């Protein structure tokens, strides 16, 4: 039985004067957690650090434990939330969607924008500092920019990063508004640098539009946008493995990180082990051309192993889900577009958060009017305040947090191995969220 007291992290307070100011913070000074502390005159004279404590020391001393609801039985703390905002996509990539497409969920089954913002706020109240919007293709959602603007406001509550995973087809048309909304990072899926091969792998045209989006990000970064750009390339034997070196060379004069991803099994993508090009094979291909390729220090929760060719501006990463999992430091949770929580990309266990949210609305989707009537945002903000004070939270939020907490506690130490994954029932990747 989970306790009914919500444990949370320190509030993070950042002043955002402009996008340029945001960039300067990201590129020069790490944003650190700070709590509101009494003025020196209000502190007890008996406090051992009364005269000399720095704000950072005081913040660390007053910090609460990370949320128990987002901590699993292996002590992994989940501060990164990925939310799929649509099942729709304007491409049909071989490894993601079955050739015949998918049966889309009825609109009433999908999360509304108020529901997405509500869940985002609840997770941020518990310590989530990074939210990534995925799909399908998130840019095809009609209200994607207003949605990002609403989520971006959670910076006042502790959100540090608002990211997007996209195929880049229409990104260049919306990028400026997204950066104004608080976009800090883009993972762009691109599996080939050959326009003809692009059409084969995606079953659609659009290569030029994708390159236009990449160029636009690089242009904006030159004037201070500070968007972390990563290009994700799923490598398939006999399909695009000959393009590994050209992808590496994208970073010769451009600050681009290309991440090569081992081909993974999902429903409908006709996976077989023979198509999988392993991390070690990729390394060997690159080192044949660039023998000085060197390892770069990874961060604790990085999903990729990072390398760099000396003299290149860009970097190279490898996501090795199949041959060398990184489950031990996993800090990610996923919410599907129909409102289910998945604690593991490769796990098939899911729990509906949508149904709990809608219970007070007779099971119906919650639009803006219903959200105001139910005072969704007021109660979730109140839950955040009460959690900081160590008090009991509202019944609605407590029920959702308990469901989340039980799902997180059931998370396994690691996902199944290669021989088992291909036989496990799971959603197509398009219905999970990239």
Structure confidence by residue, pLDDT tens digits, 383-402:
777 777 777 678 899 999 99
What is the pLDDT at residue 52?
A: 46
pLDDT given at position 349: 83
Q: What is the dihedral of CA 29, 33, 35, 39, to 10 degrees?
A: -30
pLDDT tens-place string over residues 294-309: 999 988 777 789 999 9
What dotted CATH number matches 76-333+412-432?
3.20.20.70
Of 154 and 348, the one with more pLDDT: 154
Tell me the whole-structure pTM to 2 decimals. Answer: 0.81
Residue 99 pLDDT > 80: no
In terms of Cα–Cα distance, which of 240, 148, 152, 135 is closest to 188?
135
Phi, psi dihedral angles at 400 (to 5 degrees): -65, -45
Maximum CA pair distance of the chain? 73
Mean pLDDT of 308-315: 98
Question: CA-CA distance, 293 to 286, in Å (whole number)?
Answer: 8
| Residue 33 pLDDT level (bands cut at 50, 70, 90) | very low
- 86 alpha-carbon distance from chain centroid: 15
Average pLDDT over every residue of 16-22: 37
Which pairs count as long-range contacts for 64-67, CB under 8 Å and 24+ apart, including other chains? 64/7, 64/8, 64/9, 64/10, 64/388, 64/390, 65/7, 66/7, 66/8, 66/9, 66/127, 67/6, 67/7, 67/8, 67/9, 67/126, 67/127, 67/387
What pLDDT, on the 0 to 100 scale, is given for residue 329? 87
pLDDT class for 203, splitting at 50, 70, 90? confident
Which residue ranges make up each domain of the chain? 76-333+412-432
- pLDDT average, residue stretch 214-230: 97
Task: Give the pLDDT band of residue 115 (cuts 50, 70, 90).
Answer: very high
Please choose, from the candidates 372, 342, 359, 351, the residue with its C-alpha nearest in 3D space to the C-alpha of residue 433. Answer: 342
Q: How far apart are CA 365 and CA 15, in angstroms?
A: 35
Q: Give 123-176 pLDDT, tens digit per residue.
A: 999 999 999 999 999 999 999 999 999 999 999 999 999 999 999 999 999 999
What is the predicted pLDDT for the residue at 53? 54
Closest of 231, 77, 62, 81 to residue 154, by C-alpha: 81
């Amino acid at each position: 039985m989970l306790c009914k007291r919500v444990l949370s992290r320190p509030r993070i307070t950042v002043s955002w004067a402009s996008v340029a100011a945001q960039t300067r913070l990201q590129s020069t000074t790490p944003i650190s957690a700070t709590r509101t502390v009494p003025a020196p005159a209000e502190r007890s004279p008996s406090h051992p650090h009364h005269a000399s404590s720095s704000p950072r020391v005081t913040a660390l001393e007053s910090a609460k434990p990370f949320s128990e609801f987002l901590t699993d039985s292996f002590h992994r703390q989940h501060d990164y939330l990925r939310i799929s905002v649509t099942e729709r996509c304007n491409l049909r990539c071989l490894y993601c969607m079955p050739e015949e497409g998918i049966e889309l969920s009825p609109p009433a089954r999908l999360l509304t924008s108020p529901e997405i913002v509500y869940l985002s706020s609840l997770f941020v109240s518990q310590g989530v500092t990074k939210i990534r919007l995925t799909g399908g293709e998130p840019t095809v959602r009609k209200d994607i920019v207003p949605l990002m603007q609403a989520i971006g406001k959670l910076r006042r509550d502790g959100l540090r990063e608002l990211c997007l995973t996209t195929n880049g087809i229409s990104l260049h048309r919306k990028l400026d508004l997204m950066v104004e909304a608080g976009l800090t990072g883009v993972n762009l899926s691109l599996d080939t640098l050959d326009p003809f091969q692009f059409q084969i792998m995606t079953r659609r045209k659009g290569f030029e539009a994708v390159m236009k989006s990449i160029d636009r990000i690089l242009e904006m970064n030159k004037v201070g946008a500070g968007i972390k750009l990563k290009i994700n390339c799923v490598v398939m034997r006999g399909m695009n493995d000959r393009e590994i070196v050209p992808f590496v060379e994208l970073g010769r004069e451009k600050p681009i990180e290309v991440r090569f991803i081992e081909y993974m099994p999902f429903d409908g993508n006709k996976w077989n082990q023979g198509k999988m090009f392993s991390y070690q094979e990729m390394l060997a291909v690159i080192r044949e051309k660039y023998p000085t390729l060197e390892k770069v220090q990874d961060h604790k929760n990085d999903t990729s192993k990072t390398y760099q060719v000396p003299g290149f501006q860009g970097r190279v990463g490898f996501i090795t889900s199949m041959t060398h999992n990184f489950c031990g430091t996993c800090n990610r949770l996923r919410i599907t577009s129909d409102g289910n929580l998945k604690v593991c990309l490769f796990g098939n266990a899911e729990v509906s958060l949508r149904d709990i949210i809608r219970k007070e609305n007779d099971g119906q989707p919650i639009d803006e009017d219903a959200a105001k009537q139910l005072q969704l945002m007021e109660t979730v903000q109140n839950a955040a305040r009460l959690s900081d004070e160590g008090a009991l939270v509202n019944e609605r939020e407590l029920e959702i947090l308990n469901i989340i907490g039980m799902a997180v506690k059931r998370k396994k130490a690691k996902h199944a191995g290669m021989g088992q994954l291909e036989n496990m029932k799971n959603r197509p990747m398009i219905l999970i969220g990239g």
